[in-house]
Amino acid sequence: MSKLRIGIIGTGKKQKASRFGYAMAYQHANAYKLIPECEIAACADIVEENARAFAGAYGAKMIFTDYRKMLAEAKPDMVSICTWMHLHERMALDAIDAGVKAIHCEKPMADTWAGAKRMAAAAKAKGVQLTFNHQRRYGAPFAMAKKMLDDGAIGTLQRLECGAGNLYDTGTHFVDMFSFFNHETPGKWVLAQIDYRQENFVFGSHNENQNVALIEYANGVFGLVMMGAPGGENPVGCVDKLIGTDGVIEIGVANKGPALRYRRAGDKEWTAADTKGESIHGPGFIERALADVVVCLREGRKCQLDASNALIVTEIIFGAYESSRRRGRVDFPLNIEDNPLAAMVESGALKPAPDLEGRARK
């Protein structure tokens, strides 16, 4: 079996995690290095020094400052897109046109709802596997919670809650976990409000300061996303809460609580589950995610990180911003094209105080 030739778009530089970067190309590359049928053949970054440093670390023989030239000359079988979200759509469309077999892209999908739909439609039309890095699906606390739920440990699922710092950047993980627990059921409607008084650029895109969003899914399950006080306190008390007819499961309990705990109806105390040392952040999530992406590509089956699942999440997020713009409930399918939060800032409907550092890096 021939090896998959991997191209990395947007190497960035190896750095400490911040709102300007998490060195995701390095994390993708570390995962690829663990997969015997993959080889990192080429990389591209607009800063040549970054691309050369990355190539030296992972043995990529072809180095580019233009990703389009990399696609044309290196002809990778698969690419990872590790850039900021406003670049995702164009890069994915170019990779699809270049004939790649698979694209694994960082989240969120795109900076507009229309862009997200175009990416997914183009990949489907050309038979390209397009996946997004919602890696929490591969973490023990989350996978164990889903198995407990599916096994009926808390009865029938009624409501999902999470405390997300924002709806767009970190929120894409949180809302994606709602889909994970709720069998990829599409949303029916969303009713939301946000507060955006201080500019908050994360990877070059606007993110609100506070939020509350109520979602009804097509199967009648409700989802509630909240971030409360200005200091970032989580009103849910955990990362994810699963509420069933016969009990509750909590993941990532606040104040250094357990990674996973549950309480069945009638129980006086919580029971902590053994996640074998895994927290809500890892280790091993991205490694498992990319391994599964490659297996799905080889076997020709749908991956749980597929663009069709990511679209469910993205529609809810942009729908929540649209609900804030309309000051009312938004029913799906979502009939807008833009990013309502960015549009409200551009129109002057929202006037957050400037974030000078974020603007400098935008």
CATH assignment of the domain containing 227: 3.30.360.10
Residues 121 and 203 in one domain: no
- Give 199's contacts (C-beta < 8 A, 6+ positions apart): 206, 352, 353, 354, 355, 358, 359
Residues 105 and 168 in one domain: no
C-alpha closest to that of 336 among 110, 89, 114, 88? 114
* Domain count along the chain: 2
Amino acid 229: pLDDT: 65
Q: Which long-range contacts (CB under 8 A, 24 or more apart) does 293-298 make?
A: 293/102, 293/104, 293/129, 293/131, 294/4, 294/35, 294/37, 294/38, 294/78, 296/129, 297/4, 297/78, 297/101, 297/102, 297/129, 298/37
Region 8-27: mean pLDDT is 82
Amino acid 164: pLDDT: 85
Residue 141 lies in a domain: yes
Domain that holds residue 270: 137-282+314-347
Which CATH number goes with the domain that contains 47? 3.40.50.720
Residues 323 and 227 in one domain: yes
Between helix 307-326 and helix 113-126 the angle, nearest 10°, is 160
Residues 331 and 227 in one domain: yes
Residues 170 and 96 in one domain: no
187-220: pLDDT as tens digits: 999 999 999 999 999 999 999 999 999 999 999 9
What is the distance, to the nearest Å, from the Cα of residue 349 to the centroid of all Cα atoms in its chain? 28
Amino acid 115: pLDDT: 98
Give the residue ranges of DSSP H helices in the chain.
24-33, 48-58, 67-74, 88-98, 113-126, 140-150, 171-181, 285-299, 307-326, 340-347, 356-361
Residues 320 and 175 in one domain: yes
Task: State pTM to two decimals.
Answer: 0.95
pLDDT at 20 over 70: no
Residue with tokens 């833009």, as numbered in its chain: 338
Domain boundary among 83, 118, 134: 134
